C-alpha cells in the first residue's frame, strides 16, 4: 500500500490507485471533468493538474499512479493558473444558457468556475454554433453547444452498458457528440449518461423543465423496481417526487441504475394514489379515513374471521417490508388463518438477470415474503386463491396489493377475480378508479403508504437493505403493520421523531437569498 | 426621534384630552377652508397623485419583437422573490433556439411586497415593475395576475418590448 503526500498531508492508498483517487480520499478540492470513478481514464479535459516533486512539469492527476513517497500538490500559483485558463478554453464556445439549462444549480461548469475559474474571458472571436435540442433517443436530449467533450457518456456506452451508441464526430472545434445514423440511444441504462454528464449537454426528457434543481430536496433510499435494490436518491418537494438518481454502493449497484427504476417515483405521487379508504356495502361507496375504515372492519369482520378462519385467505405481494410481513402473518396466524397466497406477476421471469443490474423478479422483497412465510404454513400460488374464491372455499380475502403496478400487468384482472369473494379487503397504495365498480361484495379499500413514506427492510436476492421514510405524500395512508394493529382493535402508537434537516444545506439558493 | 409623552396628572382626566383633540380638528378645518391649496388630502379617486415614471408598481412581462413573451422560464425571479408569490410552469418550445418558455406565469399580487427583486434577478429584462400603482378590485376580483394580464393588458397596447434580444445577441457572436 503506497503512501503519498497530498498538499502536505500523508495518505495511504490502494496499490495502483491514481493521484486523483488520493485527492478524493482526502476530500481535497481538485478540478476535473473527464475522470469518473466508475469509468476508464480518458485524460482529455486536462484540468486535474498537479505538481509532483521531482517531475519535469505539471502532470494530470487522473492518469498518474501513486508511487511510494510521492509528494503532490495542486496549490501552486502555476497550477492554479493552468486550471483557470484551461477552464477558459473549455468555455470558449459555451453558450450563455444557464437560465434555460436544466443542469444549472448542479452544473460542473458553474461549480468549478466559482472554485477554480473566476477569470474574465479573453476570447474576442465569435462562438461556434452547434446543434441544440437533438433527440438522441427515447429518454435523452442532447445540446451539443453545451458539451465540453469530456467523453464520459461515450465511455459509459462503451464500457458499462456495452451498447456503443455514442461517439464523437468531426474534429477540432466542430467536434460533437452524436449517435450513429440508425442507432438511437435506447438502451436500458441510457439515463446514466445524463447523470455523469458534468454539464447540461445531456438532459432527461422526463425531468426536463419540470423543476429547478434548487427547489428540490433529496434523500437516500433504495429502488423497489426489481430485486437488485439499487441505492438511490429521490428528489422531492412539497408537490411530490420529481426524479430519482443512483447513489454509489459498491456492493449493490456501483454508480448506476436502470432507466425503469427512475420511474418508480411516479406511482408514489399523489395523482396515482388512493387517498381515502372506501367501503362498498352492496349498494353505495362510502369514503372515510383509513383509521375509521379499519375500526369499521374490526367491528364487522374481526370475530367473523376468528370463527370462520378456514374460509379466510390472505394474498401477499413482494412489495412490502419484512417488518410488515412478520406483523401481518403473526396477526392472521393468531386468528387461526393459515391460507397465505403469493401474487407475483413476474413469476415466469424471476430468475433472469441481464449481467449488470436488471433482474427479472420485479418485486423488491419476494425473498423477505418467502422467508417469513416459511415460519408459518408457506405460500400457495395466486391461481389457487382465485379458484378457491370461485368455488366458494374462501369467502373472505385480504389482498396486500402491489404499489408499483407498472410491473403487475394483471393488476385489474386479479382485482376483479378476487373481488368475487363475499368479504373483500384490498390494501393498496394505488388508486382503483375505473375498476372498483365491478365489485359487488362487502368491499373495503384501504390506502397504504408507499415505501417512500415508511421505514423498513427489503430482503433482495442476496442481501437485505434497511431504508427510512423520505417524506409524506398521502397523509392518511397506513403501513400494513398499522393497519393490522387497528384491525385487532388496538390503538396506534405514534413515535414523534425529529428529523435532521440534512437536505436544507443543499438548498443553497434559498438559504443565501439576497446574499448571492 | 419621536418623544412619547409620559402620562401626567392631566391625562388622568377624560375631558381635557377630548377638548384638545376637538381644538386641533377645528383649527385645521378653518385653515383648510381658507387655504385649500395647502390641504394635503386628495379626493381620490377623482383626483390622483402623479408618481414619477420610475415608480415601481405593478409588474409587466415584456415581449419580443414578434409579440411572444420574452420570459425564458428560468425561475430566477421566483427563486429571488421573498414573498414566494411567483408561480411559473415551464415547457418545451417548438423552436430549438427558444427551447424553454413559460406556459403559466402567475403573480399572487396580494402577497407581493413590491420589492423589485424579481426585476433585478431577471437576466433578460423579461419582468419590469411599471409605474401603474392602482390595484383595486371588488370582492370577487382575481388578484392572481396571469400572462394575459401581466403582458397584454389593454393599457400596455400590445406589450412592452424587452431590451434584450436573442437574435441580436447571436448575431454579435455571443
Ligand atoms: S451546462 Fe452549466 S454552465 Fe453551461 S449553460 Fe448549463 S448550467 Fe450553464
Ligand atoms: S455530452 Fe456530457 S458527458 Fe458527453 S462528452 Fe459532452 S459533456 Fe461529456
Ligand atoms: S416585487 Fe418582490 S415580492 Fe413582488 S413578485 Fe417581485 S420579487 Fe416577489
Ligand atoms: S421573468 Fe425573467 S427571471 Fe423570471 S422566469 Fe422569466 S426570464 Fe426568468
Ligand atoms: S480529469 Fe484528469 S484530464 Fe480530465
Q: Is the peptide bond before B45 cis (omega within 30 degrees of 0)?
A: yes
- Asked if the structure places residue B123 within a domain, the reply is yes
Q: Hey, what long-range contacts does B130-136 have (CB within 8 A, 24 or more apart)?
A: B130/B57, B130/B58, B130/B59, B130/B60, B130/B160, B131/B51, B131/B52, B131/B53, B131/B54, B131/B55, B131/B57, B132/B57, B132/B58, B133/B51, B133/B55, B133/B57, B133/B58, B135/B58, B135/B109
Please report the pLDDT score of residue A148 as a whole number.
Answer: 94
Would you state the pLDDT for residue B83? 92
The pLDDT-based confidence of A438 (bands split at 50, 70, 90) is low
Backbone angles phi, psi at B71, to 5 degrees: -55, 135
Are B73 and B34 members of one domain?
no
Q: Tell me the mean pLDDT in the region A379-400.
A: 92
pLDDT in tens, A124-165: 888 888 999 999 999 999 999 999 999 999 999 999 999 999
End-to-end CA distance of chain B: 54
Distance CA A116, CA A29 (A): 9
Pairwise CB contact (< 8 Å): A209 & B80? no
Instruction: Find the distance separating the first CA and the last CA of chain A, reported in whole Å.
Output: 44
Q: Which atom of ligand 4 is found nearest the CA of B78?
A: 4
On whether both B135 and B98 belong to a single domain, the answer is yes
Do B18 and B74 have their domain in common?
no
**A169 CA distance to ligand 1 middle (Å):** 22
B82 and B113 together in one domain: yes
Q: Are residues B15 and B97 in the same domain?
A: no
Distance CA B3, CA A510 (A): 40
- Residue A515 above 70 pLDDT? no
Residue with CA at minimum distance from ligand 3 atom 4: B112
Contact (Cβ atoms closer than 8 angstroms) between residue A151 and residue A44: yes
Flag whether B103 is in a domain: yes
Poorest-pLDDT segment among A21-25, A261-265, A315-319, B137-141: B137-141
Distance (Å, rounded) from C-alpha A316 to C-alpha A325? Answer: 9
Coil, strand, or helix at residue B32?
helix
Q: What is the pTM of this model?
A: 0.88
Full domain range(s) for residue B133: 59-171
**Is B164 inside any structural domain?**
yes
| A360-387 confidence digits (pLDDT tens) | 999 999 999 999 999 988 899 999 999 9
Sign of the CA dihedral with B147 first, then B150, B154, and B157 last: negative
Q: Is residue B16 part of a domain?
A: yes
Task: Using the CB atoms, write b or e for A272-308: b if 16+ within 10 Å.
Answer: bbbbbbbbbeeeeeeebebbbbbebbbeebeeebeeb
> Is residue B89 one of the residues assigned to a domain?
yes
Where in A284-411 does DSSP place strands (E)? Answer: 285-288, 312-316, 339-342, 380-381, 396-400
Regarding the beta carbon of A199 and ligand 1, being less than 6 Å apart is answered yes
* Ligand 4 pocket by Cβ (under 6 Å): A 99; B 71-77, 88, 121-122, 124, 126-127
Residue ranges of domains in chain A, CATH in brackets: 3-90 (3.10.20.740), 98-270 (3.30.70.20), 272-487 (3.40.50.740)
- In a domain? residue B51: no
Q: Are residues B22 and B70 in the same domain?
A: no
pLDDT of residue A455: 92
Same domain, B33 and B78: no
Question: What DSSP state is assigned to residue A455?
Answer: -
- The reply to whether B70 and B27 lie within a common domain is no
* Predicted confidence (pLDDT) at residue A286 exceeds the cutoff of 70: yes
Same domain, B24 and B71: no
Residues B34 and B96 grouped into a single domain: no
Q: Is residue B46 part of a domain?
A: no
Helices (H), B13-145: 15-34, 76-80, 117-121
How confident is residue A501, by pLDDT bands cut at 50, 70 and 90? low
Number of separate domains in chain B:
2
pLDDT for A509 equals 55
Nine cell digits for residue A132? 441544440
Based on the fold, state whether residues B73 and B146 are members of the same structural domain. Answer: yes
Element spanning A383, H or E: helix A382-391
Residue to mutate (ligand 2; options A133, A170, A202, A204; most atoms within 8 A of CB): A202
CB contact under 8 A, A210 and B123: no
Residue A192 grid coordinates: 446514466
Q: Is residue B2 part of a domain?
A: no
CB pairs under 8 A between A and B: 44
For every residue of B42-53, DSSP letters joined together read --TTTS-----T
- For ligand 3, atom 5: residue with the closest CA: B112
Between CA A208 and CA A200 the distance in angstroms is: 11
- All residues of chain A having their beta carbon less than 8 Å from the beta carbon of residue B97 are 132
Quick: pLDDT tens for A185-231: 999 999 999 999 999 999 999 999 999 999 998 999 999 999 999 99
Q: Do the Cβ atoms of A52 and A65 come closer than 8 Å?
A: no
Across all residues in chain A, what is the average pLDDT? 90
Note whether B16 and B101 are same-domain residues: no
A112 C-alpha vs ligand 1 centroid, how far in Å? Answer: 11
Amino acid at each position: 500500500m503506497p503512501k503519498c503526500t497530498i498538499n502536505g498531508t500523508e495518505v495511504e492508498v490502494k496499490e495502483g490507485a491514481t493521484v486523483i483517487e488520493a485527492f478524493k480520499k482526502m476530500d481535497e478540492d481538485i478540478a476535473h471533468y473527464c475522470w469518473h470513478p466508475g469509468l476508464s481514464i480518458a485524460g482529455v479535459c486536462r484540468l486535474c493538474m498537479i505538481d509532483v516533486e521531482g517531475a519535469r512539469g505539471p502532470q494530470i492527476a487522473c492518469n498518474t499512479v501513486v508511487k511510494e513517497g510521492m509528494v503532490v500538490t495542486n496549490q501552486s500559483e502555476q497550477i492554479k493558473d493552468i486550471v483557470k485558463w484551461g477552464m477558459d478554453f473549455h468555455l470558449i464556445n459555451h453558450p450563455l444558457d444557464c437560465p434555460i439549462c436544466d443542469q444549472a444549480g448542479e452544473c460542473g461548469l458553474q461549480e468549478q468556475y466559482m472554485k477554480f475559474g473566476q477569470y474574465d474571458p479573453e476570447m474576442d472571436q465569435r462562438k461556434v454554433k452547434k446543434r441544440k435540442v437533438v433527440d438522441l433517443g427515447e429518454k435523452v436530449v442532447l445540446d451539443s453547444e453545451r458539451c465540453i467533450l469530456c467523453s464520459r457518456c461515450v465511455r459509459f456506452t462503451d464500457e458499462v452498458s456495452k451498447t456503443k451508441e455514442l461517439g464523437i464526430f468531426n474534429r477540432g472545434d466542430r467536434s460533437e457528440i452524436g449517435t450513429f445514423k440508425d442507432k438511437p440511444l435506447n438502451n436500458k441504462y441510457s439515463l446514466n449518461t445524463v447523470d455523469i454528464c458534468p454539464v447540461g449537454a445531456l438532459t432527461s426528457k422526463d425531468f426536463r423543465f419540470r423543476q429547478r434543481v434548487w427547489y428540490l430536496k433529496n434523500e437516500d433510499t433504495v429502488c423497489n423496481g426489481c430485486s437488485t435494490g439499487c441505492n438511490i436518491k429521490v428528489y422531492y418537494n412539497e408537490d411530490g417526487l420529481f426524479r430519482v438518481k443512483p447513489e454509489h454502493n459498491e456492493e449493490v449497484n456501483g454508480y448506476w441504475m436502470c432507466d425503469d427504476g427512475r420511474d418508480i417515483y411516479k406511482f408514489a405521487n399523489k395523482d396515482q394514489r388512493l387517498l381515502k379508504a372506501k367501503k362498498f356495502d352492496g349498494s353505495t361507496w362510502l369514503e372515510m379515513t383509513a383509521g375509521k375504515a379499519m375500526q369499521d372492519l374490526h367491528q364487522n369482520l374481526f370475530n367473523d374471521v376468528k370463527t370462520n378462519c378456514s374460509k379466510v385467505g390472505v394474498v401477499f405481494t413482494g412489495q412490502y417490508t419484512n417488518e410488515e410481513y412478520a406483523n401481518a402473518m403473526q396477526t392472521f396466524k393468531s386468528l387461526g388463518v393459515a391460507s397465505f397466497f403469493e401474487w407475483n406477476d413476474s413469476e415466469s421471469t424471476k430468475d433472469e438477470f441481464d449481467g449488470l443490474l436488471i433482474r427479472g423478479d420485479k418485486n423488491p422483497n419476494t425473498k423477505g415474503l418467502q422467508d417469513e412465510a416459511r415460519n408459518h404454513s408457506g405460500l400457495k400460488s395466486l391461481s389457487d386463491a382465485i379458484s378457491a374464491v370461485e368455488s366458494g372455499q374462501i369467502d373472505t380475502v385480504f389482498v396486500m396489493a402491489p404499489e408499483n403496478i407498472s410491473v403487475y400487468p394483471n393488476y385489474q384482472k386479479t382485482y376483479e377475480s378476487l373481488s368475487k369473494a363475499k368479504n373483500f379487503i384490498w390494501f393498496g397504495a394505488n388508486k382503483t378508479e375505473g375498476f372498483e365498480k365491478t365489485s359487488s361484495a362487502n368491499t373495503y379499500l384501504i390506502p397504504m403508504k408507499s415505501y417512500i413514506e415508511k421505514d423498513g427492510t427489503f430482503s433482495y436476492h442476496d442481501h437485505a437493505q434497511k431504508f427510512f421514510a423520505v417524506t409524506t405524500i398521502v397523509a392518511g395512508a397506513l403501513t400494513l403493520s398499522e393497519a393490522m394493529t387497528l384491525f385487532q382493535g388496538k390503538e396506534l402508537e405514534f413515535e414523534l421523531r425529529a428529523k435532521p434537516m440534512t437536505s436544507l444545506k443543499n438548498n443553497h439558493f434559498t438559504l443565501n437569498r439576497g446574499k448571492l | 426621534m419621536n418623544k412619547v409623552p409620559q402620562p401626567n396628572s392631566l391625562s388622568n382626566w377624560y375631558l381635557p384630552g377630548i377638548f384638545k383633540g376637538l381644538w386641533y380638528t377645528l383649527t385645521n378645518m378653518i385653515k383648510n377652508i381658507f387655504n385649500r391649496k395647502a390641504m394635503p388630502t386628495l379626493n381620490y379617486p377623482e383626483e390622483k397623485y402623479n408618481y414619477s415614471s420610475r415608480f415601481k408598481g405593478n409588474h409587466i412581462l415584456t415581449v419580443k419583437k414578434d409579440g411572444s413573451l420574452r420570459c425564458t422560464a428560468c425561475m430566477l425571479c421566483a427563486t429571488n422573490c421573498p414573498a414566494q408569490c411567483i408561480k411559473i410552469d415551464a415547457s418545451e418550445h417548438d423552436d430549438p433556439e427558444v427551447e424553454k418558455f413559460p406556459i403559466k406565469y402567475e403573480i399572487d399580487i396580494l402577497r407581493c411586497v413590491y420589492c423589485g427583486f424579481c426585476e433585478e434577478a431577471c437576466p433578460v429584462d423579461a419582468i419590469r415593475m411599471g409605474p401603474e400603482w392602482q390595484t383595486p378590485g371588488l370582492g370577487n376580483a382575481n388578484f392572481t395576475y396571469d400572462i394575459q394580464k401581466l403582458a397584454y393588458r389593454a393599457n400596455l397596447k400590445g406589450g412592452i418590448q424587452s431590451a434584450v434580444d436573442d437574435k441580436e445577441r447571436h448575431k454579435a457572436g455571443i
